[in-house]
Amino acid sequence: MNVIKYSCAIVLVVLALYSCKKDDDGGATVTPPRDRGEQQIADDKLLQDYLKTHFYTPEDVDVNNDAVVEYQIVKFDTIAGDNSSKEAIFNSSLLTTKKVTKNDVEYILYILNLDKGEGKSQPTFADFAYTTYKGELLYSKSTKVFDSAITPVWFDLASVVDGFREAVVDFKGATDPNPMPNNDGSTTYTGFGRLVVFMPSGLAYFNATNQPNIPAYSPLIFNIQLYNAKQADHDGDGIPSYLEDLDGDGVVFDLDDDTDGDKTPNYADSDDDKDGTLTKDEITVKDLNGDGVITLDEITFYDDDNDGIKNHLDFDDRDLKNE
């Protein structure tokens, strides 16, 4: 699905810069991406113009056409003609902003907080989220919707576009994340998180070299319903993935989170320091309250040589701790 943006896409972007466009001498020419700071200024103007000239109305989603409404999304229209008296999204009391810094550029997300959610589950930036969603372009001569899921799907938030992740982590799941299915097999949730995020291209697909349905430098809109979240431990080493973000930037797949330099970041590496002893054997984990969620105080870290580096990150310390 288009919302997923794996880190390997970085490689595709680099390769795409060497396009098939030819210069006068018959050689390939490089089309560099736009300046991110300048593009953010342009995108923010587009987003603000859209928010100031459009309003929204709820729209029921009946998954199986059985007169049972599973959830609502919002529909957008222009403030004009018979709709001239409608309140602009920009003026809504439900609209908030969130600033996100990436590549030394400060971006602004515009988030319509329809319902924060009443459940206990709330994902971190590296967890799994159970959602329905619809992705739209601001403007399009053909269809505006480029991707959607009307029945819930699990997403790995470590691998989605930044704007999607940064918006969802501020919401909670449903009151009952595992309700009984309806007679027709569909499921109706209550008290779940509902939001719409308006994001600049810099927190989406930017120059979109590998996104055929999304033009380059497109700000995007995502209608999102969040039903559940699960803590992720991608490499099964006992350390929740969000705690393997060593540089604290809210991203777990960059080179700053790769202790042993093997090009596999710690959250996906079962032996973080490449000392031959698996990470899970260099720490002790106990789910003290049995809730299936591991917190920092439920992990015992060791430093056998007292050098200030925890065993699982220190090539010199490799003793088994759970024999």
Percentage of the chain beyond pLDDT 90 is: 79
Q: What is the largest CA-CA distance in the chain?
A: 74
Mean pLDDT, rounded, for 58-85? 92
**CB 152 within 8 Å of CB 188:** no
Report d(CA 144, CA 142) in Å as an integer.
7
Does 89 share its domain with 224?
yes
Domain count, the chain: 2
Tokens of residue 308, six digits: 């200030």
List, for residues 67-79, the tens digit of each pLDDT value: 888 999 999 999 9
Q: Where would I find the H helices in the chain?
A: 9-17, 36-53, 162-168
Residue with tokens 């003026």: 91
φ and ψ of 271, to 5 deg: -130, 85
Quick: pLDDT tens for 191-222.
999 999 999 999 999 998 888 899 999 999 99
Angle among Cα 275, 276, 277 to the nearest 5 degrees reads 95
End residue of a domain, out of 172, 195, 230: 230
226 and 292 both lie in a single domain: no
CATH number assigned to the domain comprising residue 112? 3.10.50.40
Domain that residue 257 falls in:
234-240+250-323
Q: Is the pLDDT of residue 36 over 80?
A: yes
Residue 23 lies inside a defined structural domain of this protein: no
Last residue of a domain, one of 230, 259, 275: 230
Q: Please name the residue that has the structure tokens 């719409």.
A: 196
Mean of pLDDT values over 76-85: 96
In a domain, 20, yes or no: no
Question: In this structure, are 323 and 221 located in the same domain?
Answer: no
